[in-house]
Amino acid sequence: MNAKELREKTPDQLRDQLLALKKEAFNLRFRQATNQLENTARMNAVRKEVARIKTVLNQMAAQAAAN
């Protein structure tokens, strides 16, 4: 999901999605530690999505504080 699509969502929706991604990242790390992870590229994609969501949330907070 790109940043443009994320900006269309509400902060509550973004926080829910962020929580789900963090749970997925935990599960991916756990599976990697037990050598059960097949798609290692998914870890990088999840990490980048988390960063993207955090960036959009911070931009929304800054914009709300400025107004």
pTM of this structure:
0.91
The answer to whether 25 touches 43, Cβ cutoff 8 Å, is yes
Closest listed residue to residue 9, CA positions, set 55, 57, 58 = 57
pLDDT tens, 17-59?
999 999 999 999 999 999 999 999 999 999 999 999 999 999 9
Cα–Cα distances in angstroms (integers) from residue 28 to residues 23, 60, 61, 63, 66, in the given order: 9, 29, 30, 34, 38
At 67, the pLDDT band (50, 70, 90 cuts) reads confident
Q: What is the 3-state secondary structure (H, E, C) of 41-58?
A: HHHHHHHHHHHHHHHHHH
The answer to whether 14 touches 56, Cβ cutoff 8 Å, is yes
